[in-house]
């Protein structure tokens, strides 16, 4: 039987009139044709400039407006409006390669992946405000990660690229939506919840997305709030892991807390001791080294840019 699911491309728009037309065109021109395109204007303060761009494509897209609530809020709104079996997030200033959706849908068939619990993750390159490609290291790993391996990957490697994913829509309704109080680690927080609750990930090392970096981005302008949200995420994950009563998740969070200096390590260790959960000192040391080494590489990369 032919596998031709409807894919909903959700584009949250906020003050992005100068970039959104490119995003719309790359979504409309996907080689995979069974798509719907949903634009959610998140209360843009641009005198209607973004809407005017979108009006040219009203025959090809579904367009909604709402009060400003942040990217999480706009994504959740769009996902709830979506009719597709899969969700693909496209930021208004990012771009898809023409065959992004086609290649990801094909992987479900070729790899015989579970369409209800497997998320497909692809790589991305980086472009500047004018569309010029910038140097950016890409992940080399590929293949299937069960939920525990995916969870560990999120803690000790890189976060999956939000716009590089193809996500079964049912995961949102069964596990939860983006945390609307978060603006910086909204994707990391949700992917951790997904994998803790059983979602798996297939890593595709092909580059299928271009992420744009420019000075107007909220992550550039207000990055000091990132650490606060990361700590909130860690604390909420600890509570979820305790309720799940799975030693694996609690141990990984303890190792992460020790390695990053975030969270109350003593309280976590007390919980582990009271529940007779054994720790591996070698694993703790290796993961601590890995995170510290990654921080050094990140500093070097930003100095070289």
Q: What percent of the chain has pLDDT over 70?
A: 89
Give the pLDDT confidence of 206-249 residue by residue, as tens digits: 999 999 987 665 554 465 688 899 999 999 999 999 999 889 99
Alpha carbon distance 2, 14 (integer Å): 37
Tell the CATH topology of 7-221: Spore Coat Polysaccharide Biosynthesis Protein SpsA; Chain A (3.90.550)
Of 226, 112, 121, 240, give the one whose Cα is nearest residue 175. Answer: 240
Of 287, 161, 185, 295, give the one whose Cα is nearest residue 235. Answer: 185
- Give the residue-averaged pLDDT of 130-156: 90
Alpha carbon distance 234, 239 (integer Å): 9
Q: Map out the domains of the chain as residue ranges.
A: 7-221, 223-304
DSSP state of 104: H
**Model confidence band, residue 301 (pLDDT cutoffs 50, 70, 90):** very low
Specify the pLDDT at position 282: 74
Range of lowest pLDDT (38-42, 54-58, 209-213, 268-272): 268-272
Alpha carbon distance 301, 64 (integer Å): 39
| pLDDT of 286 higher than 80 | no
Specify the pLDDT at position 163: 98
Specify the pLDDT at position 243: 92
**Model confidence band, residue 270 (pLDDT cutoffs 50, 70, 90):** confident
Give the pLDDT confidence of 190-208 residue by residue, as tens digits: 999 999 999 999 999 999 9
Q: What's the angle, vertex CA 203, arms to CA 202 and CA 204, rounded to 5? A: 115
Gyration radius of the chain's alpha carbons:
20
Specify the pLDDT at position 221: 47
Query: The tokens of 59 are what?
Result: 């025959």
């Amino acid at each position: 039987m032919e596998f031709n699911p409807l894919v909903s491309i959700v584009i949250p728009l906020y003050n992005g009139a100068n970039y959104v037309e490119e995003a719309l065109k790359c979504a409309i021109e996907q080689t995979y044709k069974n798509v719907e395109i949903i634009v959610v204007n998140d209360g843009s303060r641009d005198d209607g400039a973004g809407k005017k761009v979108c009006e040219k494509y009203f025959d090809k897209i579904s367009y909604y407006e709402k009060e400003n609530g942040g990217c999480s809020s706009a994504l959740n709104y769009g996902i709830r409006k979506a009719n597709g079996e899969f969700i693909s997030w496209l930021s208004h200033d990012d771009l898809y390669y023409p065959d992004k959706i086609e290649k990801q849908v094909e992987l479900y068939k070729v790899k015989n992946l579970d369409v209800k619990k497997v998320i497909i993750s692809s790589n991305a390159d980086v472009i500047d405000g004018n569309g010029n490609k910038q140097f950016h290291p890409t992940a080399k790993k590929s293949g299937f990660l069960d939920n525990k391996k995916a969870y560990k990957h999120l803690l000790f490697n890189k976060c999956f690229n939000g716009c590089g994913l193809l996500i079964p829509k049912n995961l949102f309704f069964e596990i939860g939506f983006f945390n609307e109080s978060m603006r910086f680690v909204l994707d990391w927080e949700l992917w951790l919840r997904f994998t803790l609750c059983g979602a798996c990930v297939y890593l595709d090392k092909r580059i299928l997305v271009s992420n744009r970096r420019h000075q107007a981005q909220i992550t550039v302008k207000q990055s000091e709030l990132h650490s606060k949200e990361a700590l909130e995420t860690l604390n909420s994950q600890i509570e979820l892991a305790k309720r799940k009563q799975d030693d694996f998740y609690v141990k990984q969070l303890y190792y992460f807390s020790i390695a990053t200096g975030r969270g109350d390590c003593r309280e976590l260790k007390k919980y582990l001791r009271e529940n007779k959960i054994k720790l591996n000192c070698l694993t703790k040391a290796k993961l601590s080294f890995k995170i510290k080494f990654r921080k050094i590489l990140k500093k070097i990369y930003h100095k070289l840019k």
